[in-house]
Structure 1
Amino acid sequence: MQNDELIRLLKTPLGLTEDAIVYPLSGGAINRSYYLNDDSKEFMVKEFQGESSLCIDRQERFELQLSLFNKHLAPKPIYLSVDTGIYVEQWIKQHTSQMLLVFDDRHIHTLATALTRVHKSNIKAKLVDLPKEWHQYLTTLVNPSLCLVDEITKETEKWIRGRELASHDQVFCHNDLVWAHLCVPTKLILDWEYAGIGNRYFDILSCAKVNNLNTQQHDLLLTTYAKKNNIPINVVYDGCSQQASFMELTYQLWHQAVGIAPKI
């Protein structure tokens, strides 16, 4: 979308003046993001794309983020267009320290602290129904292999059994906790598109995956999380082992559905 068209669409709902300016931002695998400034008012604007491939109810996400804002976990949501294609939230200034070249122990501890904070938050949200997501992704693929279909069927049965046996590990999860989604100075967390009630160990593995942690960093994340949550480390490793195939299948299907090659 052109910048002037975006300003025109947001002029009335946000009460913009003629001095409003908008800049496209880098990042984001699917959606387009913009910084909108109007004198002293600043906004983060997102233009959602590829919605047919995703299982996201934008109105429900807006209401969830409002709950997260009230818990001091997320920026304040401000506006969602009628067609749910344009979303606006409070602008949170990111610092250059948010862009890491190398993770050190301090960063891993910060990730573990953020995961713990999210998991211990008392947020009412929908269940993250992984089989539903898998089947939605599958419908977007042209001629998926029988092997993939069989894998989804087997993993669905395994997921249902596992959820019943590990109900105590069902907590509120972010599920996309890449470092850039942490605003360390404010302790706010960004981009809650995939959040919901799910298995804590899936969230931990997802965090390790999106941050491309190596084996040593991965182990430190699990160890630090175990200590912060008073969970025996062997229990954390067992939980992650049980969720590993779910996480890998989810990311494989997501990348295929949205047409983005996974990072090697």
Structure 2
Amino acid sequence: MSGRVLTRDGVLALVAEATRAGTRADLRRADLRWADLHEADLYGADLRGASLSCADLYGADLRGASLSWADLHEADLHGVDLRGASLSCADLYGADLRGASLSWADLHEADLHEADLRGANLRGADLYEADLRGANLRGADLYGADLSGTTCLSVTGLPSGPAVLVPLPDGWQLTVGCWSGTVEQLRALIAKDHGWPEAEGDQIAVRRPMLAALADMAEAWAAAQPHLLEAVQEKWGKTEVVC
């Protein structure tokens, strides 16, 4: 399959043949640049090393697919189902992943530089050492995602749930468990004795010092990493910054 140029019909024929045989569609290193594969059923397909740059994969089913080392830069992956897919070391530079389902996907060392991940579901995803510089993560669900070695600050082990600090076009956003806001908004919440999400009474007293320490850490991180915020704002436009 190496280097072979395939059309939409050719891809779907291979997928159908593999399904009948009870195997995975072998599309390794296939040349699918600019291919129209919108809403295609590519469940479990082997696309390792495939060339999919600028391909239209809008709404495609890629659950459990193997896309390690695939070239997907500037591909349209809007609304794609990639749950449990392997995208390790994949090139997703500038890809449109708005609203994509990437829960439990393997994205370690993937290039997501300037990718559009607005509203994407990344719960439990492996993003270890992924390149997220300039990526737009507004509204993305990062609960339980491994963000070690990325441009995001990730803190686990807090009673309130995992915490993530990410740069957005309008400033740094801190998410703790089910709560999201700015560092200043977290400090305002900490100062209150009521109105805490999922905490009251003695629980507030226990969580307050740890959240105060988190606020200090997040503030220090943002101050030490101004270039990360600048990269996002340069790509997506700068609005009023609240840090």
Q: Give the TM-score normalised by structure 1.
A: 0.32
- Max Rg structure: 2
Higher relative contact order (CA 8 A, sep 6+): 1
Whichever structure has more helix as a proportion of its residues is: 1
Whichever structure has more strand as a proportion of its residues is: 1
